[in-house]
């Protein structure tokens, strides 16, 4: 492996780690927001919200937000972006088992930050 390939590989792993960090922050922010919208006791947080995968979590949170704030178009746009991010992340994950040259992996930096979810 050449020095350039080693640097590219290291940068790729760094970007993957950054993506995982921001994605998990976003997911936790959405979970926290949903819990607050439902005025749920903290002891029920993991029981009620914990089993949702990211796509279901986004769908439920969007529906609750739109129900609570019907004129909030930002929620619809935000969660469409979350679903697109989830789709791209799943596609990238599925490519992981295939042999491919190291290039910039798709979708390593989320286009959505956790602060966009919390108001």
* pLDDT at site 98: 47
What residues does each domain of the chain span?
3-116
**Rounded to two decimals, what is the model's pTM?**
0.71
In the block, residue with structure tokens 């029981």: 47
What is the band of 94 on the pLDDT scale with cuts at 50, 70, 90? low
Helix (H, G, I), strand (E, B) or coil at 87: helix
Average pLDDT over residues 99-107: 47
Average pLDDT over residues 89-99: 62
* pLDDT at site 100: 47
Q: What is the DSSP letter of 114?
A: G
Who has greater pLDDT, 58 or 108?
A: 58
Straight-line distance from the first to the last Cα atom of the chain, in angstroms, rounded to the nearest whole number: 47
pLDDT tens-digit map of 15-61: 888 988 998 999 999 999 999 999 888 888 888 888 999 999 999 99
* pLDDT at site 60: 94
Q: What is the DSSP letter of 71?
A: T
pLDDT at 13 over 60: yes
């Amino acid at each position: 492996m050449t020095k350039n390939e080693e640097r590219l590989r290291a940068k790729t792993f760094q970007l993957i780690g950054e993506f995982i960090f921001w994605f998990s922050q976003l997911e936790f922010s959405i979970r926290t927001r949903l819990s607050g919208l439902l005025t749920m006791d903290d002891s029920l947080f993991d029981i009620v919200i914990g089993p949702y995968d990211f796509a279901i979590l986004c769908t439920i949170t969007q529906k609750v937000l739109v129900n609570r704030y019907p004129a909030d178009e930002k929620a619809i746009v935000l969660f469409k972006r979350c679903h697109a991010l989830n789709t791209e992340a799943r596609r990238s994950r599925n490519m992981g088992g295939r042999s491919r040259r190291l290039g910039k992996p798709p979708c390593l930096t989320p286009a959505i930050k956790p602060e966009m979810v919390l108001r």
